[in-house]
Structure 1
């Protein structure tokens, strides 16, 4: 597959994209420009083309020696950081490892034929690090790949990142101790307990870690790699700015295995990716209830284009963790087709906006165009303002804050079969406003084509 540098060097026209290098010390920046139905700032991402390589084998890495490999990767990252930045190179082979913590100005590069096989043992992901669980901040097991408050970080190459699920798969179940821990964490956030005191690694909380989390980072690139399996959400840019996820293939069919969850992140491009998921392909989020209100950081300027979804619940989900607000989302030229997935089809909706009476926040200016799908269990556009899942019985509604939803625009969609075209369930106190569907074609509709409850300004055009 041609990379970005090949295309630019060859003078190939890239629709909707322009990129130019900007000097930033050892690490350069590429300025990626995206055309969208809103003012989309240029995205500055790192380019390590001129940076020195730090092969992990020069630091003592040995196939199948987890301790040696984790130490070697850590030493290579430290050496590259001391040199002002660099590329930590994983060569061909299978390399068992524990968690990898990146630093500023570091690219983790997996050569073709390289596999990083991550430990299945939760104890290897301690000590706990600052992270989050479904929109609530806490201390928890380290993500398998993690960066905190970093500039210029990247994961690239043609290799594979593999999660071994021996224990994590057991933790997919949600027994009472796990649910009790979720309630405890929610109450800590509601009462304003400092994040440093929210340690969720004790007892049987069993809060699984993300596969990849970039937490409070700037200038992030994930390109070309394959990701297989995941304990929890697969790629989680959290409170990040300027993120490009390009040409990534994800196959993860466990519980809560979303593909990409940009949460409270801004200026994000997801393009040319293939998703084969056990949950949503992409889900834009901005924190749950009290933590979302505390952090007050909307998810803004998120573009998903030229992606293929082999399986998953939704092509694009908005929420349900959206208490910080979500605005300016654009999905274009994406295709939903479960025919080649080895898993049973779980496709539900193409665009799903979900919230509830506790979330607050807002949703505005969401656009979806040029999308196709085979059979979906739900429909093209679904809005549900009463999505609580297990939380309906876990906690009462302490603070009732409805979510204003306005500006949902869907056009040029083709679907073979669906239960509906659009189904909108607004709230009497906060009607959904300004919804348009243009040239949306569903060959076979098995239910009511278009229905709306508490909707103001809905337009359907051929």
Structure 2
């Protein structure tokens, strides 16, 4: 059996296990994935994945939040009105909940099945910065760990056929007084620290450390209570265990934490979204333990990774044991962030079948174009990654695969990273390294192919440690052919 067929048989089998069926995916394209024409062509596989994703559609019924008592005066708290409109829409079989032109203050919004939250042009949903507006606690994931925490600003749990669409703005207001300072002391801090009545700095570290211990000690999730007083910032949009999710057209600004974080979802489409947030951990789009994801035509201007594919952290990720897989990313622009397309670092459940094409990246503050980050504490099986046609202006490091991220080599779960092909990556100005590949001697990075790629101007020598079966073809560095002999250690 060839490797390509093996990868996709495994993907389909894993998808079937998630929730008992491959919910939301049409059966015909899945058969096509294993047929002869697709089996030998990675990018036909990518097309088959896109075809198998079910984009939700909705009945032609509208529920204007004004009719439920909402007021776009930038003064009224509209949480009850918006959620009542969502409940009514759901109860009547679904449709669009309309956010009209105006500035509507709200707390947590909880989406229900068959509801499209639609923001008309000129509409702003302005989210409260009062933590009590995100209580009671909900079942959520935070940095790859399950817990009971503050509700995400927009949340859905075990729903299907849901959407957030339109030309309006979701304003998280996290750049004001509450959310970002909870990060505490940080080398990139551009926020004022907060103190309690005793003059102690308010920050997330104590609760974060305890949550890590709870997860390693297998404390039941319902006993991991980390809402009021824990200072763990909620993500902006988090559908959890949902099927058929669409996020389209909107602008998302100033998020407390990660901007879009679907967890354990099937059939997710994120398109034409503008991500704009420069706070701590302002990742743009982080699909986590999701199956069949399409991210396209988006603009990322973020304070952390633009796109980071994840699958749970450490013991908790291994307990849930669900990979992120069958993901297509295309036609996106990464303006600024820690990484353009990233896999990790919460990666213990593994990642496979990722296809990235036709993206642009350009910023002196963009730290890495392509990055995989893990270690022997987090582990994870990362395989069958395909990347092509990436145009990069200025970036610090171009391709980074690092087995020593954060905790270093301190665990017993060696990661497996293998079968990665990158074709037609063009970087005009690499401020530091074209390649930084750092595996373990006992557990090297395996089967890396880099073709038709050019790094026009590079500041520092590349580093390649413990990589087996590394193939390059038609690759230039500072306009000269790249030599593996010079960079491999």
Q: What's the TM-score, normalizing by structure 2?
A: 0.82
Deviations 1:90-132 (A, max 9, x none): 0011111111000111110000110000001111111111111
Instruction: From the two aligned structures, give the one with the greater helix fraction.
Output: 2
CA contact (8 A) 1:408 1:434 kept: yes
Secondary structure of residue in 2 paired with 1:237: coil
Aligned to 2:414: 402
Aligned to 2:255: 230
Q: Is 1:275 aligned to residue 300 of structure 2?
A: yes
Deviation of 1:36 after TM superposition, in Å, equals: 3.1
Aligned to 2:355: 330
Aligned to 1:171: 182
Q: Is 1:430 aligned to residue 451 of structure 2?
A: no
CA contact (8 A) 1:172 1:254 kept: no
Q: Please tell me the root mean square deviation across aligned C-alpha atoms, in Å.
A: 2.0
Aligned length: 418
Q: Is 1:36 aligned to residue 46 of structure 2?
A: no
CA contact (8 A) 1:60 1:68 kept: no
Aligned to 1:186: 212
CA distance in 2 between counterparts of 1:89 and 1:335 reads: 33
CA distance in 2 between counterparts of 1:51 and 1:187 reads: 49
Q: Is 1:383 aligned to residue 393 of structure 2?
A: no
Aligned to 1:53: 62
Deviation of 1:302 after TM superposition, in Å, equals: 0.9
Deviations 1:152-199 (A, max 9, x none): 010000100001122112213246862221121111111111111101
Gaps of 5+ in 2: 1-23, 34-41, 186-200, 475-489
1:114 to 104, 119, 123: 123
Q: Is 1:125 aligned to residue 134 of structure 2?
A: yes
Q: Aligned runs of 1:431-446 on 2, under 5 Å? A: 431-446=444-459
Q: Aligned runs of 1:130-169 on 2, under 5 Å? A: 130-165=139-174, 166-169=177-180
1:459 to 471, 475, 484: 471
Aligned to 1:200: 226
CA distance in 2 between counterparts of 1:74 and 1:124 reads: 13
CA contact (8 A) 1:239 1:264 kept: yes
1:420 to 433, 454, 457: 433
Q: 1:115 to 1:202 in 2, by over 3 A?
A: closer
CA contact (8 A) 2:233 2:256 kept: yes
CA distance in 2 between counterparts of 1:185 and 1:350 reads: 31
Deviation of 1:83 after TM superposition, in Å, equals: 0.5
CA distance in 2 between counterparts of 1:364 and 1:421 reads: 21
Q: Is 1:355 aligned to residue 374 of structure 2?
A: yes
CA contact (8 A) 1:283 1:319 kept: yes
CA distance in 2 between counterparts of 1:55 and 1:76 reads: 7
Gaps of 5+ in 1: 1-28, 339-344
CA contact (8 A) 2:422 2:451 kept: yes
Q: What's the TM-score, normalizing by structure 1?
A: 0.87
Q: 1:30 to 1:299 in 2, by over 3 A?
A: closer
Aligned to 2:240: 215
Q: 1:177 to 1:162 in 2, by over 3 A?
A: closer
Secondary structure of residue in 2 paired with 1:108: strand
1:87 to 75, 96, 109: 96
CA contact (8 A) 1:37 1:330 kept: no
